[in-house]
Amino acid sequence: MIAGDRCTRACGFCAVATAKPLALEADEPARVAEATRRMRLKHVVITAVARDDLKDGGADHFAKTIEKVRELNPDIIIEVLVPDFNDSDASIETVLAANPHIYNHNLETVRRLTPEVRHRATYERSLRVLGKVKEKRGEAIYTKSGLMLGLGETTAELLQAMRDLRAVNCDILTLGQYLQPTLRHLPVKEFISPDQFAEYKVAAEEMGFVHVASGPMVRSSYHADEFKM
């Protein structure tokens, strides 16, 4: 995770601290690159807190990190898990110009629950961001998104969210169980069975997702390298 540990949003599911962020560290991209080299990573997922305090939402910092990682690791697969950048075309293009292989932005939950779960984010904005990435790069990039289950969504709502993602040509999907990080966060409404996760995986594959990770312990970066490009 880059760009600090203080987020400008206060989503109901996330334990990252909400506070005024500190200044970006100019040497962080190089440090991340060196870490990936030392660990001999073949696939790296670069994510960040939301930085609404920055004009570009931190997009240039993402781009610099991607570029530094590639300099030291020419063959590495680079996946970014990015905020919505407030749907800024310029910020999205800044990240895309650095040529990540996978552009991940999580829808997180179904349309009805979004206002409660994702403060200052919207369901439609996230879909637009994913759609724009495919419009700009097409088959040259894979798009990815994830949803947490157990927040009170219905099966019909979840299937609709999956269809909405496919409507903007989202390629990869992760489905995992929501777990309440602290008593201050949203409660778990339901624990989804492994069999139900398996059924959702089949449904997603039938919709056309090229890769689906679905299970109680799945998270956005869960076995990310298992997707073979």
| CATH class in words for 6-226 | alpha beta
Q: What is the pLDDT of residue 74?
A: 97
C-alpha distance across the termini of the chain, in Å: 23
3-class secondary structure, 18: strand
Contact 156, 145 (CB under 8 A): no
The pLDDT tens digits for 178-189 are 999 999 999 999
CB atoms within 10 A of CB 144: 30
Amino acid at 166: R
Edge-to-edge order in the sheet of strand 211-214: 43-47, 77-81, 102-104, 142-149, 172-177, 211-214
Closest to 80 in 3D by CA, of 107, 43, 54, 110: 43
Q: What is the pLDDT of residue 55?
A: 96
| Ramachandran angles phi, psi of 148, nearest 5° | -95, 140
Sites in the chain below the pLDDT cut of 70? none
Q: Kindly list the domain boundaries of the chain, sorted by start residue.
A: 6-226
Q: What is the pLDDT of residue 94?
A: 98
